[in-house]
């Protein structure tokens, strides 16, 4: 696959970006707010895309040297998509394509992403955790259906980093008398690989996962992970053509439906809470109301919105492979979002 075939659909927009020079994407870019360097904002990355494509496809005499600093700049992005809202052009898609181009050129991904790649290949998760521990959190007092058309895809983050959340979801599904299963050989969805430009391996994972669902005759896949949801619902159809893919739901969609049908009844809980719209679930997938509907259905609970919410919610700093490669900056972005919540 040539560089031009990967990037050419973004050339016109990148050229327009260079000439308009509005810079609306800068001020709320989570990375730019930390480093204050123009090339680290979306506009800077589109400028790199323009000159990279122009140099290779149009005027080879103007070669853009892909130094380590340029590569670092391209990967310094959480792919949160805030720039998509301020610009009106899917800039984050262009940045993901730019990373794919770097991988094809042998300039990417970054070392942190290579370690993630090896972990996914070896143990089917990006956290360098043993595959054997993936379902160790599962409660022993709940029985799974051996043959069910509803599958709860736990996801790597819940399985290894938030097992209490996974257990809570399973208990709610059980209480609602839903006939569901969990794949014994569940694997990574490939989200972080896709965001870091490792599209070929992500495609392999997509084919494997879709084949598993097909073999098990799964009709609906529900997941609590925003990254898994976006990858299954939005990216898989682009990566793999399948005749009869399963229906994809996020847990908030399913729980909202269960509440509407009175299959579950929340107990009273007197708390003042706020809600953070995950970038994958909100801006990239358009799911805003179901989580709020669930919170508001709990007696005694008061929802107070952050100033920056829904499609203008600020990023937590952990997406797009950014946390793995730029840990300190990622945490700084996260602290800024917590300030929004405290206010």
In DSSP terms, 150 is beta-bridged to: 220
- pLDDT band, very low/low/confident/very high, at 26 (cuts 50, 70, 90): confident
Number of other residues whose CB lies within 10 A of the CB of residue 285? 17
H or E element in which residue 248 lies: strand 247-250
Q: What tokens appear for 37 in the block? A: 């360097």
- The 150-153 sheet, strands edge to edge: 150-153, 220-223, 247-250
153-202: pLDDT as tens digits: 999 999 999 999 999 999 999 999 999 999 989 999 999 999 999 999 99
pLDDT score, position 28: 87
pLDDT score, position 54: 77
Smallest CA-to-CA distance from 190 within 250, 98, 116, 134 is with: 116
- Whether the pLDDT of residue 60 is over 60: the answer is no
- Whether the pLDDT of residue 65 is over 80: the answer is no
Where do we find the tokens 């358009």? 286
pLDDT score, position 306: 97
Q: How high is the mean pLDDT of the chain?
A: 92
Cα–Cα distances in angstroms (integers) from residue 28 to residues 36, 128, 335, in the given order: 11, 32, 15
Question: CA 57 to CA 41: how far, in whole Å?
Answer: 24
pLDDT score, position 61: 55
Question: CA 105 to CA 114: how far, in whole Å?
Answer: 15
Q: Are 227 and 250 in contact (CB under 8 A)?
A: no
- pLDDT band, very low/low/confident/very high, at 255 (cuts 50, 70, 90): very high
User: What's the whole-number mean pLDDT along residues 246-275?
Assistant: 96
Q: What tokens appear for 302 in the block? A: 């008061």
- Whether the pLDDT of residue 57 is over 70: the answer is no
* Sign of the dihedral through C-alpha 74, 78, 84, 90: positive
pLDDT score, position 20: 80
Question: CA 244 to CA 176: how far, in whole Å?
Answer: 27
pTM for this prediction: 0.94
User: What's the whole-number mean pLDDT along residues 254-277?
Assistant: 96
Angle at 109 between CA 202 and CA 324, to 5 degrees: 85
313-328: pLDDT as tens digits: 999 999 999 999 999 9
Question: CA 131 to CA 12: how far, in whole Å?
Answer: 44
Question: CA 6 to CA 215: how far, in whole Å?
Answer: 33
120-165: pLDDT as tens digits: 999 999 999 999 999 999 999 998 887 899 999 999 999 999 999 9
277-315: pLDDT as tens digits: 999 999 999 999 999 999 999 999 999 999 999 999 999
pLDDT score, position 56: 61
* Sign of the dihedral through C-alpha 40, 116, 135, 215: positive
101-113: pLDDT as tens digits: 999 989 999 999 9
More confident residue, 338 or 14: 338
Percentage of the chain with pLDDT > 90?
A: 79
Q: Are 102 and 199 in contact (CB under 8 A)?
A: no
Alpha helices in the chain (DSSP H): 3-7, 11-20, 30-35, 42-57, 68-75, 82-87, 91-105, 111-123, 156-160, 163-175, 191-195, 199-215, 226-230, 236-239, 251-260, 289-297, 322-325, 327-342
Percentage of the chain with pLDDT > 70?
A: 97
66-102: pLDDT as tens digits: 889 999 999 999 999 999 998 888 899 999 999 999 9
- pLDDT band, very low/low/confident/very high, at 241 (cuts 50, 70, 90): confident
């Amino acid at each position: 696959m040539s560089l031009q075939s990967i990037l050419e659909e973004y050339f016109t927009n990148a050229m327009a970006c260079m000439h308009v020079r509005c810079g609306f994407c800068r001020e709320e870019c989570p990375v730019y707010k930390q480093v204050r360097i123009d090339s680290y904002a979306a506009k800077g990355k589109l400028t790199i895309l323009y000159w990279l494509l122009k140099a290779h496809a149009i005027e080879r005499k103007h070669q853009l040297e892909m130094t380590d600093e340029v590569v670092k700049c391209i990967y310094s992005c959480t792919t949160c998509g805030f720039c998509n809202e301020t610009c009106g052009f899917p800039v984050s898609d262009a940045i993901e394509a730019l990373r794919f181009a770097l991988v094809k050129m042998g300039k990417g991904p970054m070392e942190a992403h290579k370690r993630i790649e090896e972990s996914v290949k070896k143990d089917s998760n990006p956290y360098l955790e043993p595959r054997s521990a993936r379902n160790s959190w599962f409660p022993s007092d709940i029985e799974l259906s051996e043959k069910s058309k509803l599958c709860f895809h736990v996801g790597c983050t819940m399985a290894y980093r938030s097992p209490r959340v996974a257990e809570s979801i399973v208990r709610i599904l059980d209480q609602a008398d839903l006939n569901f299963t969990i794949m014994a050989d569940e694997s990574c969805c490939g989200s972080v690989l896709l965001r870091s430009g490792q599209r070929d391996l992500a495609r392999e994972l997509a084919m494997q996962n879709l084949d598993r669902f097909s073999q098990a005759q799964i009709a609906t896949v529900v997941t609590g992970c925003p990254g898994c949801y976006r990858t299954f619902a939005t990216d898989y159809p682009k990566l793999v053509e399948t005749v009869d893919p399963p229906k994809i739901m996020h847990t908030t969609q399913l729980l909202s439906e269960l509440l509407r049908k009175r299959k579950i009844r929340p107990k009273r809980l007197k708390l003042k809470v706020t809600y953070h719209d995950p970038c994958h679930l909100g801006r990239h997938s358009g799911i805003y109301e179901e989580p709020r509907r669930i919170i508001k259905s709990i007696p005694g609970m008061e929802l107070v919105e952050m100033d920056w919410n829904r499609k203008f919610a600020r990023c937590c700093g952990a997406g797009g492979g950014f946390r793995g490669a730029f840990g300190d900056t990622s945490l700084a972005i996260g602290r800024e979002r917590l300030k929004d919540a405290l206010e």
